[in-house]
Structure 1
Amino acid sequence: MTQRVVLASHNAHKLEELRRIVGPALPGIELVGYDGPEPVENGVTFAANALIKAQAAAEHTGLPAIADDSGIAVDVLGGCPGIFSARWGGPARSDTANVDLLLWQLSDLTDEHRAAQFVCAAALVLPGTAGAETSVLGVWPGSVLRAPAGAGGFGYDPIFQPEGETRSAAELSPAEKDAVSHRTRAFTALAPEILARVAF
């Protein structure tokens, strides 16, 4: 018997990515898309926002729900953009505007002061059961480049150089990125919880 688990996102690319990343670790579970209302993400941490999204999807669908909230955290900016990563460049929520502003803010800094991490909180919420929720954090360390490089990925990928790499995240193949990304780390850690807590 297959158990459906809803991914609390309207992003078809994210659903496809998570099926690649965590699907093999979840035998008997089908990840399905979400077409319900989007909640207000008014949490002050990645984990809080991931739980808000998963709770809304679980309530709307009656299915176990998973969600993530992610962004880039720059050390010298005290962890910003952080939860504001998607709207760092203004209300248009443009990847280009976000990247341009961050590069401008760091333009005078030497390489040793450009450390950053991609951070992802992954959450699981079961419907109709108070307290039946959990979240885990995945961190992908690296640094901010001085200019975009690569045509792959999305968001801040073109200016993020993973630790130990000479390429940007946007220059990695999907398979290379899937093997080490913050989202992979978070959902790989969440997978045992999903298997243990989702009833068949």
Structure 2
Amino acid sequence: ARKKGAIPESKYQQLAVELSAIPNKVADVLATEPLIRELSEEFKDVAHFLYLGRGYNFPVALEGALKLKEISYIHAEGYPAAEMKHGPIALIDENMPVVVLATNRSAYEKIVSNIQEVKARKGRVIAIVSEEDEAISELAEHVIVIPETEEALTPLLSVIPLQLLAYHIAVLRGCNVDQPRNLAKSVTVE
């Protein structure tokens, strides 16, 4: 992108600085593992999970749901938060934990609205938020804070709590996380 002039040099430099800080920020996220282990105790016996994300966080929501399915055998769906009213909202109640990736500053008010909709249906919210968050931290039952970073880089940090949540739930359920059932170790193309 830099060579093609797709981004200004100043933006490139800013991204480079932020990218070089990611390893330390990953360590900060990993330090939340005791909290995530504790959360896993509360949610290990649920039958379904919903994961919501907007923008860069939508693919992270898909990955979080996939990891939970693969290693804990709990039904989980990742969904674009903007589409929550078109189906998933009908399933939300006190038995459906909803993991909301809420680090997207450009859609923050919309994410707050999504969480309010979940709360109105007695849904339990686990929110992944950035350090500067205030509103969502007050709405969600459980909050996992990740360090601030460039919005395009947040998936590198926000996926970690989801992987840890899936891991700890699977272990607590007695699942073999090293050899998940019916999961191929590699993808082959025929």
Higher relative contact order (CA 8 A, sep 6+): 2
Give the structure with the higher percent helix.
2
Structure (1 or 2) with the greater strand fraction: 1
When normalised by structure 2's length, the TM-score is: 0.30
